[in-house]
């Protein structure tokens, strides 16, 4: 487990471990949550989850969160989403190359060899985007960051450059200090702060990535003894899969191609994301083609989607997660039946049928009694607030 500290340059001495004002932050690919004392911060009229989105409309304003996300369909190149996928990534890396294939952004190389977004407001880095999202959430929650010490989570697979970039994004939101805890360790902490076991498996399917890890929880510090993942296997990819299905049906039924224009297809992906979320509470949803492409003939109408269809469409994606689970268990030298608990994290674990597949794979019901959208930040808040935990996890202490 790696937990290190980023402090403002003006700080000339070590920040004491025992702190009164602390928060845990899950700066996610799709959504961001800030928690304090094992509770997610509520934002007035916006719930507890802020979309990791920043938009730059022609007015010159900067929109963040839900207001920014709503501009995705009308102004995709100036609405930055999923920036975590390339935070700290090098310009010539596979991460940046894959990002270009999936998103309609105009990317530029930065002076330090990274990637940034070219927008009407100028060049904006993924670090800038993360700082704006975290600052926007704390402002909406009326939570001042001055003199507050933060622990932010990062995937196990992030190298030092990507971890440092994540910490720097949060530091720019004016926190007194920022430390990093690995996401599966945060999840395990959230579930085990009142109980104990030896081996836990964290199955984390978020908006942008899938991460799997075996965590040895038998003693502090918790240790990740096997991990793996896929940076392009998450809710965004589910949305694209559904969008391709809708596009195929529209082409076959109406002869109208929704894939030959990147901006139109991005609007379709967004519409399919909304339909997917609607299926969380109903058996059927629909995508209005005219809302996706105003130039489409009226005969296109709507394309209906059912929960069963989504379950079948995403089956290959789900199978890919279990292939990664196989590798992680092999790396740890542990059999699935030796895992005592399976903890779920990430909003995409709400996919139709997924929890049943997980139960079949591990032979036990996964734990999801903590909100999968909150659990990572809750664990980070424990690492931040509890002196005993903090001292054991923080090598800088």
Question: What is the per-residue pLDDT across 161-199, written as a single tens digit (0 to 9) for each?
Answer: 999 999 999 999 999 999 999 999 999 999 987 667 899
Higher pLDDT, 13 or 359: 359
- CA quadruple 334, 337, 338, 343: dihedral sign: positive
Q: How many CB atoms lie within 10 A of CB 17?
A: 14
pLDDT per position as a tens digit, 143-163: 999 999 999 999 988 999 999
Q: How many CB atoms lie within 10 A of CB 281?
A: 7
pTM of the full predicted structure? 0.87
- From the candidate CATH numbers 3.90.550.10, 3.60.20.10, 3.20.20.70, 3.90.640.10, the one assigned to the domain spanning 235-313: 3.90.640.10
**Counting every residue, how long is the chain?**
397
DSSP run (H or E) holding 246: helix 235-254
pLDDT per position as a tens digit, 359-395: 999 999 999 999 999 999 999 999 898 755 554 444 4
Ordered by start, the domain boundaries in the chain are 197-233+315-368, 235-313
Beta partners for 213? 202, 227
Q: How far apart are CA 56 and CA 229, in angstroms?
A: 32
Q: What is the architecture, at CATH level 2, of domain 197-233+315-368? A: 2-Layer Sandwich (3.30)
Cα distances from 330 to residues 67, 226, 341, in angstroms, run 44, 8, 17
3-state helix, strand, coil in the chain (%, to 5): 40, 25, 35
What is the rounded average pLDDT of the residues 77-83? Answer: 94
């Amino acid at each position: 487990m790696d937990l290190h500290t980023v402090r403002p340059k003006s700080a000339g001495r070590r920040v004491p471990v025992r702190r009164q004002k602390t928060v845990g932050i899950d700066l996610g690919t799709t959504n961001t949550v800030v928690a304090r004392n094992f509770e997610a911060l509520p934002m007035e009229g916006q719930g507890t989850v802020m979309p990791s989105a920043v938009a730059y409309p022609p007015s010159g304003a900067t929109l963040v969160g839900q207001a920014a996300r709503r501009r995705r369909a009308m102004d995709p190149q100036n609405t930055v989403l999923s920036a975590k996928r390339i935070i700290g990534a090098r310009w010539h890396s596979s991460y940046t190359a894959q990002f270009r294939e999936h998103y309609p952004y105009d990317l530029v190389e930065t002076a330090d060899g990274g990637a940034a977004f070219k927008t009407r407001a100028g060049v904006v880095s993924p670090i800038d985007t993360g700082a704006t999202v975290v600052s926007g959430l704390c402002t909406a929650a009326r939570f001042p960051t001055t003199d507050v010490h933060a622990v932010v989570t990062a995937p196990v697979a992030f190298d030092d450059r990507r971890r440092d970039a994540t910490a720097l994004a949060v530091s720019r939101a004016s926190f007194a200090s920022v430390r990093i805890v690995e996401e599966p360790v945060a999840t395990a902490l959230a579930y085990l702060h009142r109980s104990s076991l030896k081996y836990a498996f964290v199955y984390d399917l978020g908006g942008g990535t899938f991460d799997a890890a075996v965590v040895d929880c038998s003693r502090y510090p918790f240790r990740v003894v096997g991990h793996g993942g896929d940076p392009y296997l998450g809710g965004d990819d589910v949305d694209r899969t559904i969008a391709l299905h809708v596009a195929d049906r529209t082409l076959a039924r109406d002869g109208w191609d929704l894939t030959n224009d990147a901006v139109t297809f991005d609007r379709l992906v967004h519409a399919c994301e909304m339909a997917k979320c609607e299926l969380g509470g109903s058996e059927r949803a629909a995508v209005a083609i005219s809302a996706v492409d105003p130039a489409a003939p009226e005969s296109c109408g709507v394309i209906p989607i059912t929960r069963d269809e989504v379950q079948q469409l995403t089956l290959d994606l789900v199978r890919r997660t279990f292939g990664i689970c196989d590798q992680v268990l092999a790396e740890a030298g542990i059999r699935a039946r030796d895992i005592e608990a399976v903890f779920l994290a990430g909003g995409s674990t709400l996919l139709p049928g997924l929890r049943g597949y997980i139960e079949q794979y591990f032979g036990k019901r996964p734990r999801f009694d903590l909100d999968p959208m909150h659990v990572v930040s809750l664990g980070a808040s424990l690492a931040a607030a509890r002196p005993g935990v903090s001292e054991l996890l923080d090598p800088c202490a």
